[in-house]
Amino acid sequence: SPNHKYDQQLEYAQAWARLMGLGIWNWDRPMRITPAEFRQTSGNG
Protein backbone atom coordinates (compact mmCIF):
# COMPACT_ATOMS: atom_id res chain seq x y z
CA SER A 1 0.00 0.00 0.00
CA PRO A 2 1.26 3.51 -0.77
CA ASN A 3 2.71 5.65 1.97
CA HIS A 4 0.31 8.47 2.84
CA LYS A 5 2.23 9.78 5.85
CA TYR A 6 3.01 13.15 4.27
CA ASP A 7 -0.03 13.62 2.00
CA GLN A 8 -1.62 16.40 4.03
CA GLN A 9 1.70 18.18 4.57
CA LEU A 10 2.41 18.11 0.83
CA GLU A 11 -1.09 19.37 0.02
CA TYR A 12 -0.61 22.31 2.40
CA ALA A 13 2.81 23.08 0.90
CA GLN A 14 1.36 23.02 -2.62
CA ALA A 15 -1.53 25.28 -1.64
CA TRP A 16 0.86 27.72 0.06
CA ALA A 17 3.18 27.81 -2.96
CA ARG A 18 0.21 28.45 -5.23
CA LEU A 19 -1.09 31.29 -3.05
CA MET A 20 2.36 32.86 -2.72
CA GLY A 21 3.25 32.45 -6.40
CA LEU A 22 6.25 30.22 -5.75
CA GLY A 23 7.88 27.65 -8.02
CA ILE A 24 5.72 26.61 -10.96
CA TRP A 25 3.05 29.08 -9.79
CA ASN A 26 5.37 32.08 -10.09
CA TRP A 27 3.24 34.85 -11.64
CA ASP A 28 6.20 36.41 -13.46
CA ARG A 29 7.54 33.14 -14.86
CA PRO A 30 4.75 30.53 -14.86
CA MET A 31 5.36 27.00 -16.06
CA ARG A 32 3.94 26.92 -19.58
CA ILE A 33 4.74 23.34 -20.52
CA THR A 34 3.17 20.04 -19.58
CA PRO A 35 4.83 17.74 -17.03
CA ALA A 36 5.77 15.37 -19.86
CA GLU A 37 7.45 18.19 -21.79
CA PHE A 38 9.30 19.28 -18.65
CA ARG A 39 10.64 15.76 -18.08
CA GLN A 40 11.90 15.60 -21.67
CA THR A 41 13.69 18.96 -21.50
CA SER A 42 15.15 18.45 -18.03
CA GLY A 43 16.49 14.96 -18.71
CA ASN A 44 14.30 13.43 -16.01
CA GLY A 45 12.09 11.34 -18.24
Digit-coded pLDDT (tens) for 1-31: 578 999 999 999 999 999 999 988 898 988 8
pLDDT for residue 43: 67
In a domain, 9, yes or no: no
In a domain, 24, yes or no: yes
pLDDT for residue 20: 96
pLDDT for residue 11: 96
In a domain, 32, yes or no: yes
| CB neighbourhood size of 3 (10 A) | 6
In a domain, 33, yes or no: yes
pLDDT for residue 38: 84
Domain with 37, as residue range(s), is: 17-44
Does residue 39 have a pLDDT over 80? yes
In a domain, 40, yes or no: yes
Count of structural domains, the chain: 1
pLDDT for residue 1: 54
In a domain, 36, yes or no: yes
Q: Which residues contact 23 (CB under 8 A, 6 or more apart)?
A: 17
